A and B are shown apart, each in its own frame.
Chain A
């Protein structure tokens, strides 16, 4: 018997349909049984997440059209998001590009239908960053890091460290920044271990290492967060030397600080939500 390779993620007023890899022809029957067996779908906005596929068989076209018709009857939205260029071309080739409306991302659809999703910083959001921090330090620098007591600080207060990697969070539900901030000595010791050479002084090239550490932590956390529906977009980190807080407009919003202890010294993960 075929295994379901799709999920209907239920949210308040809408569903997001996600697929596990390419659209499996064998899953068509299961999908049709799912949509026929649940009248709630027709009464909700439906968003199809196309991130994992670039083509679709005629049978899937028929099923999506069926679901779209059902939502149309109740005045609900039916849209595709994260549509690759190849898939868009497929829509056109198969003559459904006028029927299958596309939005850039979930936020665009929710804005259109007037649904506001307020996300808050909670353990579900913070934990992936903490776990990623421990993982990255352990694998890339062979350093064991332990998180200490979390505390809040004013967003405008100075950064805790002398060298920081800063990466912006842009998502479908909120914006902000993540900062990995190191006192100078800790940073040089950790970077020395990563690079296998002793670094004794900060300079432009090794300060950039803070950006790389931040990039790895963010990348690993992002995978987990997006599996939980946060919709966080890709970003490129920057580095900062000095404690002055210039984390964009995020500096006005409160920040959560997680201090970490290692055998090489302490450092800090600071998470800012945009005001």
Chain B
């Protein structure tokens, strides 16, 4: 599992969902968590911060989660940052598109605390080798 000291960025245009994810992360022990309202704001924060994990909504105005993911993956400095997409729909085409763009994992809304914890654990297993390289 990710070290609870990992700096996390939550990105979602809906305050309610940011607070739900924040609450779950806090219950899992994460205490260094920032929030952004859309992909543009998140990208500015990524460039300044040192995030070890990004949890981003997909469907946002201005800059979607997918567009934000592409920005992160295109920049060598941040390309390896673990990235979890949160989406209200799990249509095959969309999932495929996200995987092609380099997402590490995705979670479908609605999700329980256990479901998000499981996704974080499986994401960590997937990226562990990449992060230690």
Contacts and interface: CB of A to CB of B under 8 A. Distances in A.
Interface stretch (B3-11, B16-24, B40-48): B16-24
A212 B59 contact: no
Nearest to B92: A52
Given A139-B110, A195-B23, A215-B59, A21 B16 contact: no
A84 interface: yes
B130 interface: no
B74 interface: no
Contacts of B92: 20-21, 51-52
A191 B19 CA distance: 11
B88 A211 contact: no
B112 A208 contact: no
B89 A222 contact: yes
A136 B111 CA distance: 8
Interface in B57-108: 59, 61, 87-93, 96-97, 100, 108
Interface string A128-140: 0000000110011
Contact of B109 (A52, A191, A219, A226): A219
B14 interface: yes
Most buried by A among B88, B90, B91: B88
B131 interface: no
Most buried by A among B20, B108, B110, B112: B110
Interface string A205-232: 1101101100110111011001000000
Contacts, number: 75
Contact of A219 (B15, B87, B93, B111): B87
Most buried by A among B23, B87, B96, B100: B96
A269 to B, nearest CB: 16
A195 B91 contact: no
A234 interface: yes
Contact of A195 (B19, B89, B90): B19
A196 interface: yes
A223 B14 contact: no
B39 to A, nearest CB: 14
Interface in B28-60: 59
Interface string A33-72: 0000000000000000001111000000000000000000
A140 B110 contact: yes
Nearest to B12: A212
A194 interface: yes
Nearest to A205: B15
A113 interface: no
A215 B110 CA distance: 10
A243 interface: no
A96 interface: no
A223 B90 contact: yes
Contact of B14 (A53, A84, A211): A211
Contacts of A223: 89-91
A82 interface: yes
Nearest to A211: B14
A136 B61 CA distance: 23
A218 B89 CA distance: 8
Contacts of A209: 14-16
Contacts of B23: 195-196
B61 A236 contact: yes
A194 B15 contact: no
Interface in A181-218: 191, 194-196, 205-206, 208-209, 211-212, 215-216, 218
Interface of B: 14-17, 19-20, 23, 59, 61, 87-93, 96-97, 100, 108-112, 115
6 contacts: A140-B112, A195-B16, A195-B20, A196-B23, A209-B16, A226-B91
